[in-house]
Amino acid sequence: MKLILLGAPGAGKGTQSEFIVDKYGIPALSTGEILRAAVKNGTPVGLKAKSYMDAGALVPDDVIIDVIKERMGEPDAAKGFILDGVPRTVAQAEALEKMGVEIDLVLDIEVSDENIIERLSGRRVCEKCGATYHTLFKPSQVPEVCDRCGGRLIIRKDDEPETIKARLATYHEQTEPLVDFYRQRDKLVEIEGSYSVEKTRDRIDEVLGALPK
C-alpha cells in the first residue's frame, strides 16, 4: 500500500499516520521529521533547510526530492509506505511520477484554518520518539512526559503564532493545488478532519479497509 497524506499544517497527518503504521505495518516517511533530525544533527541538508523551516516556508524542491528518494530506497519501504508531508508542490508530485512511484490513494485531511491554529498552539511533541500530543485534545497521561517512551514533551519551534500563519499561507498557495492534481488522477479521497482524532481515524480505516487486497 502506497499512500499520501495531504492536508494543511496541523490537519492531523502525523497523528493519523501513527495509527496507520500500527495497524497496517507500513512506515510513515515524513519529510518534516527527516528535516528536523537533519537540523538537529547539523547535516548539510539540515543547514540548507533550517532558515526555510524557521520562516514557515517550503524547503526547495531539489533538496526534498533527494531526501525522499533516499528514504524510499531503504528496506522498510519496499512493501509500501505513507508519505506524510510530501509531495507539497506540483513539482514534487511530478518528480514522484517520474521516479515511477505508483500511489494507491491520496487522503486529503480537511480542517479549517481556525481549527488549525487551535491545534498547533496546543501541540506538544516527544523530543525522543516524535509522538504527538495536544494539551486539550490528546493529553499525555503525565503532563510533559511521553506515554510511549517517557521522553520530554516540547513545543515545536515552528508552532509560534507568526510562523503558523506563514505556514498556512504557504499551504494555500503551494500545496492546495495538489488536491486538483490528484483528483484529476482519480486518487483523491477527502477526509473530514475537524472531528475527533478517533472519528477521523475510523473514517480513514473504513477507506483503507475498502482498498483491494
- Residues with catalytic roles: 13, 88, 123, 156, 167
Q: Among residues 4, 29, 119, 130, which is the contact residue for ligand AP5, using CB under 6 A? A: 119
SS (H, E, C) the chain: CEEEEEECCCCCHHHHHHHHHHHHCCCEEEHHHHHHHHHHHCCHHHHHHHHHHHHCCCCCHHHHHHHHHHHHCCHHHCCCEEEECCCCCHHHHHHHHHCCCCCCEEEEEECCHHHHHHHHHCEEEECCCCCEEECCCECCCCCCECCCCCCEEECCHHHCHHHHHHHHHHHHHHHCHHHHHHHHCCCEEEEECCCCHHHHHHHHHHHHHCCCC
Residue 71 in contact with ligand AP5, rule: CB under 6 A: no
Q: Among residues 132, 153, 181, 203, which is the contact residue for ligand AP5, using CB under 6 A? A: 132
Q: Among residues 1, 90, 154, 197, which is the contact residue for ligand AP5, using CB under 6 A? A: 197
Q: Among residues 3, 20, 26, 32, which is the contact residue for ligand AP5, using CB under 6 A? A: 32
Residue 13 in contact with ligand AP5, rule: CB under 6 A: yes
Give the footprint of ligand AP5 on this chain (CB under 6 A).
Answer: 7, 9-15, 31-32, 35, 52-53, 56-59, 64, 85-86, 88, 92, 119-120, 122-123, 132-134, 137-138, 158, 167, 195-197, 200
